[in-house]
Chains A and B, each alone.
Chain A
Amino acid sequence: MKILEVKDLTVKIENNIILEDVNLEVEEGEIVAVVGPNGGGKTTLIKTCLGFIKPTKGYIKLLGKPPREAIKTGKVGYLPQKSSIPKNFPYSVLDVVLLGLINKKLSKKEKIEIALQYIEYVGMKGFEHAPYSKLSGGQQQRVSIARVLVADPKIIFLDEPSTGIDVVAQESFYDFLQRLRKEKGLTIIMVSHDIGVVGTFVDKVAGLNRKLHYYGDTKGFFQKHILENLYGSEVKLLVHSPECVTCEHFHIQDLH
């Protein structure tokens, strides 16, 4: 089943074309990485999928419905880009995760039980009553993910979820996402800057720089002309060195 359908999408903000003729379809249970240079429109695409931004042209169907309808089902989760949460938010880890259950018809006790379960699930056991604002960036990110998951969504949009998570933790974070997909059949749309690591575990890559330069499997994505098209001259910075063991399939010699 198509869980997300973006059709001929054009978004203009103040007469600037931010997204142009974007077409993509996501099947249930897929993991899709949205990559591209800064300002390429990744966040805008996600916000349009969630109904915060109106398409100038084209349409979006989420769970077979217009985005604003889809949201009402409670089956959509969203993790924003990190900078958008107040620095001193006066909640404990448990309080934050409980926010995710705000509209569920459960007793307080049940909510706490489920929240604790997810706090453990994201590896934050022992931090339940710690101040959210004093956690490291990566830990906050884990808590936010628990906040998203606790509502039991079918599809989640993650805007740069690995920000602030160190490389080792990133590996386990991506393993964690794959486990989620396996265990819960979750569909995951995530924005990432790290195309090297992302390439090893996602099903599809969307290369976005105003236009959708590429949409397909990871193998096809790592071709010189596609990367150059998407990133321009920055492309060299993004190619991992031969010493990099985690992404050996994507060394520079492959890019011809």
Chain B
Amino acid sequence: MELLTIPFMQNAIIGGMILAVLLSVLSLFINLKNWSFITVGISHATFGGLAIGFFLGLSPSLVGGIFAVAVGLLIGYISKKGDIHEDISIGILFSMSMALGVIFITLTPNYNSDLFTFLFGNILTMTREDIYILLIFSILSIGFIWINFQKIMYCCYNEEVAFVSGIHTGFYYYSIITIISIATVLAVKLVGVILASAMMILPVAFANQIFWHYKKILITAITFSILMVLGGIYISYEYNLPSGATIVFLYSLIFSLLFFIKRLIPKG
């Protein structure tokens, strides 16, 4: 386990585990609300913000974060209004943001390595500071969700019913979208914008196949997610593979295995 003694590996492992927990919790709501497309939209849009931040010489994470929240809220707004072409508007929005990102990153000198990092992650770039930010944000977000869990779930059950019961549905809706947007930006260093959405969709999708109750689903999703992140980091280190891709590949592989095993074995 020499892996554990290397400082940047320590950062990657700690950061990866925190992210695994945070994104698993978020994936409960994302699965319930069928938000995978929104999540994909936000993560792609984040790329534009990161690139602009990089071009301007400002902190990419900060500009990316602001950009992600703005786009996230916009997507949330479009989706809430339920206008006819919600998927199309999200599609346009994230293509536009990706395109902007590519333009800005190309205008920036020495862009090559960063482009790849933004898209697919690079755990080598995860610093102590990143971990502190991640940790504080995760504690705040999970604390918020913990306190308001039943209210948020009521909104997922049916927003209008929750509203009639006196819940400020709009507040929770936009809060969760904001948290998802910021979490996406924070996930970039681990798995990149393209792969971040997998970590927000697969944990609960996996647990859903085994359990029906939210407590068991959450525990399973978090455990699964932590194991996938650790396994992915280990494998990528041992075999010199890209970490983000390895992690996400492992997620999808185990998810699919369970999916097929469940269908092959007749119900007893």
* A interface residues, Cβ below 8 angstroms from B: 47, 50, 52, 71-72, 74, 76-80, 84-86, 88-92, 95-96, 98-100, 102-103, 131, 133-134, 151
Instruction: Tell me how many residues of B have a C-beta within 8 Å of chain A.
Output: 26
- B208 CB-CB contact with A under 8 Å: yes
* Contacting pair B158 A103 (CB below 8 A): no
Residues in B with CB closer than 8 Å to A96 are 157
- Of B28, B160, B213, B217, the contact of A50 (CB 8 Å cutoff): B160
* Contacting pair B160 A52 (CB below 8 A): yes
A80–B160 CA distance with the chains assembled, in angstroms: 8
* Contacting pair B164 A77 (CB below 8 A): yes
What 19 additional pairs, Cβ within 8 angstroms, besides A90-B28, A98-B150, A99-B157? A52-B163, A74-B166, A77-B164, A79-B161, A80-B161, A84-B160, A86-B32, A86-B157, A88-B208, A88-B212, A89-B156, A90-B211, A90-B213, A90-B214, A91-B153, A91-B214, A102-B154, A103-B167, A133-B212
Nearest 7 pairs between A and B by C-beta?
Answer: A90-B214, A131-B212, A78-B164, A103-B166, A99-B154, A86-B32, A90-B217
Residues in B with CB closer than 8 Å to A86 are 32-34, 156-157
* B interface residues, Cβ below 8 angstroms from A: 28, 31-34, 150-151, 153-154, 156-158, 160-167, 208, 211-214, 217
* Contacting pair B150 A99 (CB below 8 A): yes
Residues in A with CB closer than 8 Å to B151 are 102
Are A102 and B157 CB-contacts (below 8 A) given A88-B208, A90-B217?
Answer: no
Shortest Cβ distance from B147 into chain A, in angstroms?
A: 13
A116–B216 CA distance with the chains assembled, in angstroms: 23
Residues in A with CB closer than 8 Å to B165 are 74, 99-100, 102-103, 151
A99–B154 CA distance with the chains assembled, in angstroms: 7
Residues in A with CB closer than 8 Å to B32 are 86, 88-90
Residues in B with CB closer than 8 Å to A90 are 28, 32, 208, 211-214, 217
A52–B151 CA distance with the chains assembled, in angstroms: 19
Shortest Cβ distance from A210 into chain B, in angstroms?
A: 21
Shortest Cβ distance from B92 into chain A, in angstroms?
A: 20
A52–B150 CA distance with the chains assembled, in angstroms: 22
8 sample A-B contacts, Cβ–Cβ < 8 Å, listed by A number: A52-B160, A72-B166, A84-B160, A86-B32, A86-B157, A88-B31, A88-B208, A99-B154
